[in-house]
Amino acid sequence: MARYVTLHLHNIAAGREADYAAWFEEEHRPRLAGLEGFLSADRFEIAPIQIMPDIDQPWRFLSFYEFDYQVPDRDIPKLGRLLEGPRCAGLIDDGDESERLYTYNMYSDWHVGPNWQQGKPLSGLFIIPANFVQGREEDYHRWYDEVHIPEVSRVPGFVGMKRGRLAGTQCNPRRYCPGGELVVCAHQTDNLLFSVKDFSARARGVSPSGVAMEPRSTAGSFARTVHFFTKISGEIWDGGIAYAGDFSAYPENWERQPRQEA
């Protein structure tokens, strides 16, 4: 099980995108392999399609790291030290102090749904730095595990989810984190517009599939942000929209039709 996830949310200096990609693959990745408990690392870029388009998207890039630490207080800071190199080389644009490194202790590995194409790469993911309402933690976890994860993982192109809690030890630079909880959803879709639109339609009870999500739990705080990213490193998804259901329920070019209200 990948016990810990570190999010490196950042921007790259203008015109240095290729330099950063080369550093990541040729220098950084081999050094990551020498870190205790290292499992995986992938790079993502902010997607042009967002489910909440009015939310600020301050980061263009996300590096997503997974570790299985035995001594987290000792090992978590080591990743931060590896990232000092590109920062000192001017590859990271932190002029507005927007760079963030957040490490979360995950409750479990992926909870996958019937859409999951095992052995195939992801096309992207969304992350939610989230919070629960004070005094409602048990209800919050129950709603996610028993209701929301199963229903989200059945949306076309949405294939699995996992969650965690902000770790007690963090990497430098240590800056304010708005989410004590983390929600991650994995995607396997080459049509994010379709997947996002059907997610929204199911939440409002108007999906052509006939599937309607349960109401959002009142245990979940509205103090959260949602960020969709597209995978840009390693093997890239090319398998259409992963879906175990029936596409015939959806009209042709449905995702480009006007939004339907409940």
Tens-digit pLDDT profile for residues 103-122:
999 999 999 999 999 999 99
List per-residue pLDDT tens for the chain, 262 residues long.
459 999 999 999 999 999 999 999 999 999 999 999 999 999 999 999 999 989 999 999 999 999 999 999 999 999 999 999 999 999 999 999 999 999 999 999 999 999 999 999 999 999 999 999 999 999 999 999 999 999 999 999 999 999 999 999 999 989 999 999 999 999 999 999 999 999 999 999 999 999 999 999 999 999 999 999 999 999 999 999 999 999 999 999 999 988 877 6
Say how many residues make up the chain.
262
Q: Which of 201, 122, 212, 195 is nearest to 156 (CA)?
A: 195
Residue 169: left if φ>0, alpha if ψ -120 to 50, beta else—which one? beta
Which tokens sit at 29? Answer: 């990745």
The stretches of the chain forming alpha helices (DSSP H) are 17-23, 29-32, 72-82, 84-88, 137-143, 149-152, 192-204
Our CA angle for 10, 72, 22, nearest 5°, is 35
> How many other C-beta atoms lie within 10 A of the C-beta of residue 262?
8
CA 149, 152, 154, 156 torsion: positive or negative?
negative
Where do the domains of the chain lie, and which CATH numbers do they carry? 4-246 (3.30.70.100)
The DSSP secondary structure of 44-111, one letter per residue, reads: EEE-S--SSTTS----SEEEEEEE--SSHHHHHHHHHHHTHHHHHTT-B--TTS--EEEEEEESSS-E
